[in-house]
Amino acid sequence: MASLLETIHSAEDLRRLSPVQLEELAQEIRDFLIQTLSKTGGHLGPNLGVVELTMALHYVFDTPVDKITMDVSHQAYVHKLLTGRYDRFETIRQPGGLNGFMLRTESEHDAFGAGHAGTALSAALGMAVARDLSGGNNHVIAVAGDGAFTNGISFEALNNIAEQTKRMIVVLNDNEWSIDRNVGAIARYFHRVVTNEHYKHLHDSAARLLQRFGGKAVVHVARKAEEAAKGLLWPSMLFEEFGLKYYGPIDGHNLPLLIETFKFLKTEDKPVLLHILTQKGKGFQPALDKQKKFHGLGPYDPETGETKPAGAVTYSEVFANTLVQLADRNEKVVAITAAMPNGTGLDLFRPHHPKRYFDVGIAEEHGVVFAAGLATQGYRPFCAIYSTFLQRAVDNVIHDVCLQKLPVVFCMDRAGLSGDDGPTHHGLFDISYLRGIPEITLMAPRDQDELADMMATALTLEGPAAIRYPRGVVVGVPRKALPGILPVGVAEVIDAGPKGGSDVAIFGLGNMCEMAGELKSRLDLEGFSAAVINPRFVKPIDKDAVARFAKSARILVTMEDHALMGGFGAAVLEALDELGLSVPVVRIGWPDKFIEHGKVEQLRASHGLSVEAALEQLRPLLALAAESQVAARPEAG
């Protein structure tokens, strides 16, 4: 006999179920997610927390006519199950399978693609205004977690909603978590709402809290507090100041209540906000016990929640442990993260130097300017922000840090391909968006030892620096007791070969050094002389090394885990042009397209980041060079 979940292909199927069957379906969905994601990995905790919410949305509203946006959209798995993707769900995050986030090209029910926080309200407002301009009558619903309200874009949208549309629904899914526990005044505000059952001391509390995160003048706030005392719930003040009618908080796991509430909200002719309380990881005790771990993870035991045994040390851990060492020796070293203490490794730093650890929430722009302010007062901030998230603060890197030549260090975790998370999380553009900025020093380590050295080197610089390093385990080299200082802008020749790389000189940037060594081994077997160079510095690039090998080798090869356009290979071409040197250059890197999700090695192979792809480009050039050499020899006799 088929399960209820197997019979759900659209919202119409959902609406045919009785109240008892709806509750059964909710449990089936939770069981299915726990079992399926134990094999594929994924964002288990967030999706267990939105089962009833998503069911209620699809029960009441009719996608794709009605539009649902989800902030970040890592919690869209239940949405996918209810919109005709059940039979493909076991492919989620797998090569060629379903994406782990909303994706417009995947389904007409995915109204807006996402992967970063803070976009749901702005996108939904755009859809609502488009509906109004077109004379439409459909509904637009934005679902955003409380973590999204630590992001400035959400408040920029709130500032515009009531001015620009007369009908839109915002759902605040409040579970006190993004990836780590939410921080800051906004998080404390929501916590106060749900823990103070009788909303006591309304006047003083509301004024104080609104002042804390930039509300209206105290006198006006006091007036609103008096209104709240007459019957309004005091959390409504924040949102009603923005022109949204506030409802809640209500139980986000009470399916009948959610359905009836959404039916009511459909009739409202004004922008509204529904505040719901949910439990991240609901229905699976391991996910409730370890919220951070089960936000997003790899395969696990569906009974116990235990994951596979931990592997080698990760780059994130090396970064954090090195920063502890640097902070132990320099009281001006401070650490900043944007809601990612676990992902960046800074949760390992926090216990050692709690007063010099700052989590700014999902607010990368603020984090960068905050770091700049600290740097003006003699502190040495290390901003640990994923490459893909630092994109959001490029103007601040330029205007607030580099223009003022402030010694802020950007430690860009997840640089390069991020595998299963897909195009929203691949860090393939940081070289191109940083390389053109004056004053910055840009580095990429080939192993854990060099990462530590680069952090120590950055601490000696008078201006800004950025270090890009990949996700995952480090190359297994022994660590020195203390990091050393590298000569700035000087590459390392790893292996010059017996003839000094007279045929091919391979520049392997960062984690591509290993592949550069493999390419050299293949060339050695084919009788060619190849050298391997570790560039270390993208900016300033080692022009002396480029010139030396351009003169001694027939062909240069650059290898990088980055987009070719504007990347390290492009920097080498620019250096050759400045030097007035002409030599063939084979560039290995990511093409000018957004790279899909999948396993790293498979994606590299399919997009030409492999030894075989490099050899395929090199062989005709080497043959041509050999013919030219023969033709240039004087005839015998």
Gap between the Cα atoms of 150 and 145, Å rounded: 10
As a whole number of angstroms, the distance between CA 157 and CA 96 comes to 35
Is 392 tagged catalytic? Answer: yes
Distance CA 580, CA 271 (A): 62
Is residue 152 within a helix (H) or strand (E), and if so which, with residue range? helix 152-164
Where residue 199 falls (left for φ over 0; alpha for ψ -120 to 50; beta otherwise) is left
* Residue 609 and residue 578 in contact, taking contact as beta carbons nearer than 8 Å: no
Strands 555-563 and 504-508: parallel
Is the previous residue joined to 249 through a cis bond, with omega within 30 degrees of 0?
A: yes
* 64 prior amide bond cis, ω within 30: yes
- Specify the amino acid at residue 486: L
Strand pairing class (530-534; 441-443) = unpaired
Distance separating alpha carbons of residues 25 and 63, to the nearest angstrom: 20
Q: How far, in Å, are 179, 208, 375, 493, 581 from residue 189 at the CA level?
A: 19, 10, 30, 55, 62
* Residue 470: cis peptide before it, omega within 30 degrees of 0: no
Among the options 364, 365, 450, 560, which is catalytic?
364
Looking at the DSSP bridge assignments, the partners of residue 459 are none
Lookup: tokens for 29:
């969905």
> Who's near 541: CB < 8 A, 6+ residues apart?
489, 535, 571, 572, 575
593 is a catalytic site residue = no
280 tagged catalytic:
yes
First to last CA, the chain: 91
Q: Which of 30, 392, 414, 539 is catalytic?
A: 392
Token digits for 148? 């999204």
Beta strands in 190-242 (DSSP E): none
Tokens 């890592």, residue located = 74
What letter does residue 593 receive in the DSSP assignment? S
Cα 427 from Cα 13, distance rounded (Å): 40
Q: Can you spell out the DSSP letters for 441-508? A: EEE--SSHHHHHHHHHHHHH-SS-EEEE--SSBPP--PPPSS---PPTT--EEEE-TTTTSSSEEEEE
H/E element holding 321?
helix 315-329
The Cα 140–Cα 126 span in angstroms is 10
What are 384's strand-pairing partners? 337, 411
* Look-up of token digits 């209206």: 216
3-class secondary-structure state, position 517: helix
What is the spatial distance between Cα 538 and Cα 509, in angstroms, rounded to a whole number? 8
- Say if residues 142 and 124 touch (Cβ distance below 8 Å): yes
357 to 339, 362, 381: CA distances (angstroms): 12, 15, 10
Q: How far apart are CA 258 and CA 254, in angstroms?
A: 6
167, 280, 446, 587: the active-site residue: 280
CB 411 within 8 A of CB 381: no
Placement of tokens 């851990």 in the chain: 317
The residue to which tokens 């934005």 are assigned: 142
Q: What's 177's DSSP letter?
A: B
Task: Please identify every residue annotated as catalytic.
Answer: 280, 364, 392
